[in-house]
Amino acid sequence: MTSQIGEISAMVKRAATDAGFELAGIAAAADAPELGHFPEWIAAGRAGEMKYLEARDDTGALKRASLARVAPWARSVVVCAINYNTANPYSTQVHDSTRGWISRYAWSRDDYHDAVLRRLKLVETALHQNITAELQQALVTRSYVDTGPLVERVYAKYAGVGWIGKNTCILNQKEGSWLFLGVILTSLELSPDVPAPDRCGTCTRCIEACPTDAILAPYQLDSNKCISYLTIEKRGSIPEDLRAGMGHHVFGCDICQDVCPWNRKASASPAPEFQPRPRLVNPALAWLAEMPAEEFQEVFRRSPIRRTRRSGLRRNTAIAMGNSGNKKFLPLLEQMAADDDEFVSESARWAHARLQASQN
């Protein structure tokens, strides 16, 4: 049986490679020590308004704090990772005051959840088709891409895919951190891999580079201050004390990854799903601000940018214009200050006042 399990484990990894994943590993479906910090993180309010992270079972316990609570049948977690990096500048390398920044992962036409899940399903199918009839009868599997009740990066570490960096992202020695993760829970007890060693060393560049001080300490992130959270998940008005730190970001933030030494030699992804649309790489702020609802729906039809909604994108764009120092945006901000959307108009008034003050 041991040799059979070893063969199945190797087969799953080959299937992941065939599906286009650069990395794949297996972790035991056990409660890792890192999960013990999750309830504390939630209790401290670090999740902000992301209430889905606070999902609880019938006893009131946090689902994501223990896989056994939501999938007691699971014995192993297959973790697959695919590179989404592209041969384009980093956010720290562009300084055009008329343009904003959309996070690297959102440049493509398709939502990465769908693109990664399609490939992950190929691996799941291979698992079902390449085991004995006896094992097939009892086999249970579930595939997730950021949608499951588990903390993917913890299992990625124990599957040997990468270590959890000080910015809380998964880092791989060869691939860097531009990685989408997909997981398959399985009732089979497969051969676990060796956890990836932490190679961050004494480096603290990600912590020092964060303009809103969202990385409180190594491996400790406060979502309430994170630019990605503010521009994507935060509804309503963004706290004024954090707006200046947002710089030119209108959707997401890549700074802590842009400055990471492990990304210096990160290769570009060959996957067609992740190739960027030129207009979304360092996009024109005026275009985003004036985009009518119909165009927003068409441009971002299957994009993760839909998550922030047109209202949120225009709110973020107004703030980016206020941070630009470019007085050519004053007339446009005056128009936006009269917008029917109260959060767009309030952000535009703040941005207008900030630009005027920067001229004095």
Bridge-based pairing of strands 76-83 and 23-28 is antiparallel
Place of tokens 């650069």: 22
Catalytic residue among 31, 110, 146, 341: 146
* SS3 of residue 165 by DSSP: coil
What is the total residue count of the chain?
360
Bridge-based pairing of strands 101-102 and 249-251 is parallel
Per DSSP, helices labelled H in the chain are: 2-18, 38-43, 67-70, 112-129, 133-138, 152-158, 205-209, 227-228, 240-243, 255-258, 285-290, 293-299, 309-324, 330-336, 342-359
Place of tokens 């406060």: 222
CB 238 within 8 A of CB 315: yes
270 token code pair: 């060959």
CB 229 within 8 A of CB 194: no
CB 140 within 8 A of CB 186: yes
Q: Any catalytic annotation for residue 198?
A: no
d(CA 94, CA 192): 42
29 token code pair: 């479906």
* SS3 of residue 60 by DSSP: coil
Amino acid in the structure at residue 132: T
Give the active site residues: 146
